[in-house]
Amino acid sequence: MHASVEIARALPALADRSPALEPPWVWIQSHYFFSRSDARQHCWLWLRSADGCVHALRVPAALHGDEQLARRWQRELAEVPVAVDVLESHRAVALPDAPIVPLTRWAVSWGHPVQHAIRAFAATLDQAVLDALGWLETAGSFFGSVQHYNRLAMLPPRLREHRLQALRRFPSLVTPLLVGEPGHPDMFGDDYSECDDPAPTLSLSAVAVVDAGDHGRDLTGALAAHYRISRALVRSPLLSQPWAEGHVARDVLRLLQAMPPQAWPLRAADVECRLDALRALPVRRMDESDTVELARAFAGGWNATWQALEALAPERLQPALRDCGDFLRAALQDGALPEALTGMDESALGLAWVRRLGLVRLLDASLRWHGQAAVTVPAAGDGLPDKIAPLLERRDWQGEGSALELVTRQALHAEGQSMHHCVGGYWPICLLKSARIFHLHGYDGEQATAMYELGDDAQDPRFALAQLRGPRNKEPDAALRRLTRTLELELNAPTLREQRLAVNAQACGWRDGLRQRFSQPVHHLRTLDARTRAQLQRVLGWCTRQPQWHCARQMVYRGNIAGFGYADGPHLMRRMQSGDALQLVRERDNPHDRRAVRIDWNGHKLGYVPRLRNPAIAQALDTGKTLHARIIDLDPSRGTYECVSIEIRSEP
């Protein structure tokens, strides 16, 4: 019998069912979601358990349509909060990140039984919660997951209504506290998604926000206190809209707060499309005083400033801003710094340049410097090996492209020549900063060079993309950016953990051996023109007259805490505050690193000074020098490694 006849016969029976009589579940076969062969072993079940929770399950294909089993699970899942014990015997997997209702990949007609079953299941759900989660979604964000729905739908009615009102009023500020972060629809069940993610961990000020919203008190004031911004900014149109990231990062809020209100943008899209460019700025902005200085660059208006920058570097603003770091390093090497500014680095110089002359002049000077013809100076005698052991060497991915690891000095130089950019001079960076560089070839013929830098987590360092450049610094296309993510996953595979640790250890050894005699060789020498040199003197002269710029020589370290996620730190986040003093403890007997410097807060271990930065700090402590450490920023919305920023200074 033809399938169309079977469907035709089934439709009248389905149409006669009222939504109230529909079973609170829906079965979906694999071919509605996947074309991959391994998916055929499974089917999917959405059900609403007796307590009202929604559960999405991946089930062996042989169990498809087993109504008796679905009824049993509907009852048992309401009694057992975690589904693992209930489902293990049938090899079923809970999918908390699956969509609230099935979203089939293959189009079927509106009257198809599968569509009817999906609509009937959706009609049994809390429509107000569905609407609220849909309101939070913008391009690139996904909030409509099972676990997000359950966090709201399972609340008592009055509490649920208060929280939905808070989400409608202040979506960008309240969402991370009440719902969590946006994710990606997960229909197959990776290992990390077998159990629901815990609800967001809240600090004391965040608890005050939730309490104010739940009891109808001053929510605006509670949000202002929690995020340390003004009531006017809390109520601004910019923060009354959903953001694709699901929240507004603390550093962005601090920057907006430091700007005059008339300079604030009105649309979230005006900020989010420029976040990557903002974070590419080579300026120091780790504490509030830095942010105040940077905010002056936007006094003429957020959009007006960015439009001026985009006019200077259309279509490649982000890499052009990142390249300003090379220009600033060259500016520091151009002549001796005044004694009062000894110790100034390119980040501090960048912030001073922005503060004195503005962002547009910084980018303009950098573009002029990069536009000069480069004189190549050989780097012979730097004491570094000419070849390193490959991690992946060459990889090919069907339908995506290929990646070739550049593991010799000669190959890197050839890459710079063929791609017409400065990667040919990155060999010392590659070795001394635990980096790996690849030539990428996309399936569409596009090419690029990708550099990944290795973090310094003592337990499991991970590679992250640091630079991606096409020929002549062209911005790579979306296909190549997807290829970089595939390559990053392979570099960070658990099977390569020992090799990654060895890379970091080797880099430490090379740095120790070259510390006394190595200065980074200049492969592409460019000089400052007269106009740029005059601007540099204006900036440095201004800095010498500002006492706050004289303390760079006392700065030993600014950055994050290595191993923060493995120690007591995550459990102490709600108690720590910006400005808190930290204790530095030498661990000479540490089996992983004899230069280890532990970081404590009130007797609790937070982690360590990153391995790449601890030799000088360890030596200072061993020789009896006094170092002062403190927290300069707390932002739980960032990743576990980046949520706490610290600084270490020597005594004046």
Most confident listed range (374-388, 407-421, 523-537): 407-421
> Residue 164: pLDDT band by 50, 70, 90 thresholds?
very high
Q: Distance between CA 397 and CA 306 in Å, rounded?
A: 38
Distances (CA, A) of 644 to 256, 427, 580, 613, 634: 20, 31, 11, 17, 5
pLDDT digits (tens, 9 = 90+) for 498-535: 899 888 888 877 776 654 444 444 445 677 888 998 89
Q: What domains are defined for the chain? A: 17-122 (no CATH), 249-372 (no CATH), 394-514 (no CATH), 550-650 (3.30.70.2330)
Beta-carbon count within 10 A of 51 CB: 12
Top-confidence residue, 559 or 264: 264
| 471 pLDDT higher than 90 | no
Question: Helix (H, G, I), strand (E, B), or coil: what is residue 591?
Answer: coil
Rounded Cα distance between 460 and 318, Å, is 30
pTM: 0.69
553 or 330, greater pLDDT: 330
Could you tell me which residues are beta bridge partners of residue 560?
645
Under DSSP, the state recorded for 444 is T
Mean pLDDT score of the chain: 83
Residue 293: per-residue pLDDT: 87
**pLDDT at residue 238 above 70?**
yes
pLDDT band at 11 (very low <50, low <70, confident <90, very high): very low
Q: CB of 227 within 8 A of CB of 173?
A: yes
3-class secondary structure per residue, 166-196: HHHHCHHHHHHHHCCCCCCCCCCCCHHHCCC
Q: What is the pLDDT of residue 579?
A: 77
Which residues in 506-614 belong to E strands, given as ranges?
Answer: 524-525, 555-560, 581-587, 596-601, 604-608
Of 406-410, 412-416, 568-572, 591-595, the least confident: 568-572
Name the burial class of residue 339, with classes exposed (0-12), middle (13-18) and buried (19+) by CB atoms within 10 angstroms of its CB.
Answer: exposed
At residue 598, does pLDDT exceed 90? yes
Give CA torsion, residues 272, 273, 276, 282, to 10 deg: -100
What pLDDT, on the 0 to 100 scale, is given for residue 3?
41
Kindly state the tokens that stand for 355: 């503060």
Which range among 102-116, 248-262, 550-564 shows the weakest confidence by mean pLDDT?
A: 550-564
Distance from C-alpha of 316 to C-alpha of 442, rounded to nearest angstrom: 20
Taking residues 617-621, what's their average pLDDT?
Answer: 89
The pLDDT of residue 555 is above 80: no
Name, in order, each residue with C-beta under 8 angstroms of 420's C-beta and a sequence gap of 6 or more.
Answer: 471, 472
The percentage of the chain sitting over the pLDDT mark of 70, rounded to a whole number, equals: 86
Asked if residue 131 has pLDDT above 80, the reply is yes
Please name the residue that has the structure tokens 């440095």: 540
